[in-house]
Chains A and B, each alone.
Chain A
């Protein structure tokens, strides 16, 4: 048990915990409200967090899972470059370099020191920091959108920013801004979003000052330390309840998109008393493609997986992460070294890391575990010129699929799993805004892995190209390897991608680019989730209900459940 001697009464603990979480959520509301690009405003691909004077995280607004554990790396990196004692009120540090605390280049993180006496505090050291991360729609590089599967080096992926001051003493550092704007395709949008990031941190800065003044700086600091200790105590309490031992699991990515098949990810999870160590030794070497994760992304996925298997009510802060140790050998797909390209790390590697850790712990906590979900984000990018008004467009979306089944029930059908939780684009909005139409958007029957509890169904989404030629890029996974089942449950169905042209259909490579003709229909069919428990144990009434709902065909019910009609 960690030292919990710091003396804060249970009421102040709860009140400051609430206030500090509200602070992060207010920052997030400001960021979403004042941001410019749809990716932040609507898909909400952003996160905000609050840090103490040591740069340890105190609270975070729960938005994007993949940002969950990665932001502390940015703050640490910023403070290594600019030690707290050198910072002044009004400074703000910007970073996106995956090899210096970032995750992938489109995610820009802004870190702002907070001083008790605001702008008159030249001689003070910060009482804490506010930070936010936002996914920018373009940061340069070879392709619009800066999400290119075919990059082989980070230099192709866009502008790389080690920690630099974007604001100094409250004034924008114009030179830095100019460099950024000169390197991106949509400079106005970038400027607007960066301004929103600054506004969010300023909101947080004012609130944190007010909070520290309300309680007095000493009590504030003690309380902030206490909420971390509190989270640590609860996390250790949860880990303590798990049986000691080392649990191993391995799973693989289909390919690296550059011809190499089967990219292995391996984890050994060791529960030892009230702490846990995750070792990724034996994972594949980093790839010569963008399918690589930096350590911060792997850590984020690991924290996410552990968090899912423990009490979700435990607050998100540095304390909750203290009992978790992660070891990932440098130069592997889970801890890539420069100059690797890494944009696919967030999107796809993070999903498989989650699958591997959840898989390792499934036998240990069968009551909380889930079978593998679809394990991919099914990224689709379409671009061309809209024949209705002659303007160029780029459309990006990701697709949901099956969630894994668990002890508590069937997996959810047609949702984003684990590291993503963004919304879909309504068919009516899509067809109004782009020369595209959704022809079909439905569940894929027979894709949920059989089990006592059935895996969730994958989705089918058919998109038609209307009256123009379009380019199409895909990044998908689980097209070769099935999402696994647990506790005797069967795997979920794989996904596939199809192109219909003039009445004939062919299968597309899941990580590929092509040109589409007018009238072509692209059909994305996403994977189902794995099943939980022996299919023979599935209650007959549930099988019959699935048949009634056409979530499973009669033939499939016979095959996987041995179901026979009664006379």
Chain B
């Protein structure tokens, strides 16, 4: 009997420049990078998988591949580029403009030339049908079938291939939406349908209509993409189901995700935060800020109790997305952000970026504008020789010359001061982003860990931690490819919700219990019947508020049937949470339920991330020593090959750690320790 091949798992994350493949086999983690293929991202994904199979698993057969988890930007890019299917919208009579009116606010207050984002579906593709439900879902005006048939006639003359249906109060009663679909299908309309009662059955017609429209507009494209990818995987002989990362921090079968592409808008970034949270937790840090800094932007998130904090008020491409998504605050500060002088004489950095082409001067691809990376090069933190991407040699003198011309001379500073100034200005805006995610939400970062990743994150994190008095910085081993790794430490999750606005005193707990049970049954079906029941967990929550207010609080429920006694405990918990979050509570006032939520989870055993270190002591891992500027003084600073360092080695700052796709700056007075999973733990304020 031949030994069965070692099982392996694979995560693949598509970035703007590179597609990263992480494989885990027998505890060993390997990374393969391959150039992305923006025209059809699935080509790079499949190529990367093939390369990884040969190079990192020693040709372990695909039949032993247990998991293929994927973070995709197909939906996100379609939104940012407004490049989507020809879509129609059907609304209740009198409401076809809701999608375009939005919340009637203008995007910026002092810019007279500002404009609203284009409506996802233009006015000539928005149709009305005669019907009306009241606030409890009772039919006031029955659906007029002839009004739907008139829409069918109008659709005949268009090229619409996706249709969104969003009627008022459909979260209370979905009959009319489903009837509209049936009538259209009966009239021979051949299109893909998105119904608001399926996509987002929650109160607030603009947000629900928008999500439904967006879902409809994205569906054909995402469907094609996933179809191509699955066919490709199939032809490689991969039998494992393709799993896609959702914005909520869970993965789910591609077959489910294709119906709701709107749930993948933060697919890639969510995986990175998920990995950062996992690494922080594995080192005993349940509460953390994470920063993912790449070439053009920096994403900041908050982790509490080991889980990334989620929000329902994020925007993607100016559209408000009311689905629970990992809360990510993005600012335009990255390694490629350009330094400039405004007409008041202040030194500014970003939001304009040199991007990947031509990129910073130090990349040697013809860039001439001073960027954050160039400032690091001038100050000795980055070695321009280490950029293998450039076609031409770039010398330190060349970088300094351009920075002198563009910034230092006009500002009457020396070049080092201008470079240090750029970093200080960039750090100021990142510090602000970190404060938005912590202090502004009522959390004190002085007890947090800061997890830094992305190519440029570890260059800045140690200085930011000092300003914010964050005691510990964690730099994961694969700081440059954390998103791909995150795909393999993520549970499978499916979520359901429905709005049901009722005063608490008129609620029958058995009624809500029945709905929860129905959600759980449906979720279990979605996740697949063959899953070990031990691994399932159901999380229930109620959005509650004081009657008359419209700020809801989500209260998590314990895992037990909803009884009147439990309801009383929930009410107490609501008052306490209100007090904690807003500083006051009104226990004498009555409450109402707004929305019921469940999250069903199948736990995944994350791969063990051990033995990712080298064998050298600190002295042996030094590859270079160079002067590095910290504040006003230059320090002779050792440069360590990070991958060579052995576990438990401790290094005192200053120091530069190179390797694994990022460079880490250890400042004077700080100490770094190497953990067995390759993470650097830096003690900041001693």
Contacts of A406 in B (CB 8 A): 112-113
Contact of A400 among B101, B429, B432, B439 (CB under 8 A): B101
Contacts of A36 in B (CB 8 A): 584
Are B582 and A34 in contact (CB-based, < 8 A)?
yes
Q: Interface 1/0s, chain A 1-30, versus B by CB < 8 A?
A: 000000001110111011100100110011
Are B582 and A33 in contact (CB-based, < 8 A)?
yes
Q: Which of B307-363 contact A (CB under 8 A)?
A: 341-348
Q: Report the stretch among B80-88, B115-123, B260-268 that lies at the interface.
A: B115-123
Are B104 and A312 in contact (CB-based, < 8 A)?
no
Are A11 and B421 in contact (CB-based, < 8 A)?
yes
Q: A42-B550, A442-B97 are in contact. Are A432 and B428 (CB under 8 A)?
A: no
Are B113 and A408 in contact (CB-based, < 8 A)?
yes
A62 to B109, CA, bound (A): 8
Contact of B111 among A195, A230, A308 (CB under 8 A): A308
Q: How far is the CB of A565 from chain B (nearest CB, A)?
A: 17
Contact of A462 among B94, B110, B113, B435 (CB under 8 A): B94
Are B428 and A14 in contact (CB-based, < 8 A)?
yes
Contact of A414 among B100, B204, B429 (CB under 8 A): B100
Q: How far is the CB of B511 from chain A (nearest CB, A)?
A: 18
Contacts of B134 in A (CB 8 A): 431, 437
Are B104 and A424 in contact (CB-based, < 8 A)?
yes
Contacts of B584 in A (CB 8 A): 34, 36, 192, 195
Closest chain B residue to A199 by CB distance? Answer: B583
Interface flag for A562 (CB, 8 Å):
no
Q: Interface 1/0s, chain B 129-140, versus A by CB < 8 A?
A: 000001100000
Are B435 and A426 in contact (CB-based, < 8 A)?
no
Interface flag for B205 (CB, 8 Å):
yes
A62 to B343, CA, bound (A): 22
Tally of contacts, chain A with chain B, CB under 8 A: 189
A201 to B168, CA, bound (A): 42
Q: Interface 1/0s, chain B 641-663, versus A by CB < 8 A?
A: 00000000000000000000000
Contacts of A369 in B (CB 8 A): 112
Contact of A427 among B95, B105, B110 (CB under 8 A): B95
Interface size classification for chain A: 35 or more
Are A41 and B551 in contact (CB-based, < 8 A)?
yes
Interface flag for A233 (CB, 8 Å):
yes
Among B341, B346, B425, B586, the one with the most A-chain Cβ atoms within 10 Å of its Cβ is: B346
Q: A234-B343, A413-B100 are in contact. Are A441 and B95 (CB under 8 A)?
A: yes
Interface flag for A321 (CB, 8 Å):
no
Q: How far is the CB of B414 from chain A (nearest CB, A)?
A: 12
Q: How far is the CB of A338 from chain B (nearest CB, A)?
A: 31
Contact of A422 among B105, B343, B586 (CB under 8 A): B105
Are A10 and B106 in contact (CB-based, < 8 A)?
no
Q: A17-B346, A230-B346, A441-B97 are in contact. Are A26 and B104 (CB under 8 A)?
A: no
Are A29 and B440 in contact (CB-based, < 8 A)?
yes
Q: Which of A523-561 contact B (CB under 8 A)?
A: 548-551
Are B205 and A426 in contact (CB-based, < 8 A)?
yes
Q: A10-B411, A432-B501, A550-B123 are in contact. Are A33 and B442 (CB under 8 A)?
A: yes
Are A428 and B112 in contact (CB-based, < 8 A)?
no
Closest chain B residue to A28 by CB distance? Answer: B440
Are A10 and B109 in contact (CB-based, < 8 A)?
no
Are A312 and B413 in contact (CB-based, < 8 A)?
no
Q: How far is the CB of A121 from chain B (nearest CB, A)?
A: 23
Are B104 and A10 in contact (CB-based, < 8 A)?
no
Interface flag for B124 (CB, 8 Å):
yes
A432 to B204, CA, bound (A): 11
A440 to B95, CA, bound (A): 6
Q: Which of B411-455 contact A (CB under 8 A)?
A: 411, 413, 417, 420-421, 424-425, 428-429, 432, 435-436, 439-440, 442
Contacts of A409 in B (CB 8 A): 113, 115
Are B94 and A412 in contact (CB-based, < 8 A)?
no
Are A38 and B104 in contact (CB-based, < 8 A)?
no
A515 to B45, CA, bound (A): 67
A211 to B105, CA, bound (A): 34
Among B104, B411, B548, B586, the one with the most A-chain Cβ atoms within 10 Å of its Cβ is: B104
Q: A10-B345, A412-B106 are in contact. Are A441 and B101 (CB under 8 A)?
A: yes
Interface flag for B169 (CB, 8 Å):
yes
Interface flag for A178 (CB, 8 Å):
no
Are B429 and A65 in contact (CB-based, < 8 A)?
no
Q: How far is the CB of A422 from chain B (nearest CB, A)?
A: 7
Are A10 and B105 in contact (CB-based, < 8 A)?
no
A192 to B347, CA, bound (A): 42
Contacts of B519 in A (CB 8 A): none
Contacts of B501 in A (CB 8 A): 432
Q: A42-B551, A441-B94, A442-B96 are in contact. Are A429 and B204 (CB under 8 A)?
A: yes
Closest chain A residue to B467 by CB distance? Answer: A214
Q: How far is the CB of B112 from chain A (nearest CB, A)?
A: 5
Interface flag for A421 (CB, 8 Å):
yes
Are A307 and B110 in contact (CB-based, < 8 A)?
yes
Q: Can you pick out 21 interface pairs between chain A and chain B where the beta carbons lie within 8 Å of each other?
A: A11-B417, A14-B346, A18-B432, A22-B432, A29-B440, A42-B551, A188-B586, A230-B344, A230-B345, A230-B346, A233-B344, A403-B106, A412-B106, A412-B115, A415-B105, A422-B105, A424-B104, A426-B203, A427-B98, A441-B98, A550-B124
A interface residues with partner B (beta carbon < 8 Å): 9-11, 13-15, 17-19, 22, 25-26, 29-30, 33-34, 36, 38, 41-42, 62, 65, 188, 192, 195-196, 199, 230-231, 233-234, 237, 304, 307-309, 311-314, 368-370, 399-400, 403-404, 406-409, 412-417, 421-424, 426-429, 431-433, 437-443, 459, 462, 548-551
Starting from the known contacts A11-B417, A192-B584, 18 additional A-B residue pairs (CB-CB under 8 Å) come to A10-B346, A14-B346, A22-B432, A30-B440, A41-B551, A62-B110, A65-B110, A230-B345, A237-B343, A314-B344, A408-B113, A412-B114, A421-B106, A423-B105, A426-B205, A427-B98, A441-B97, A441-B101
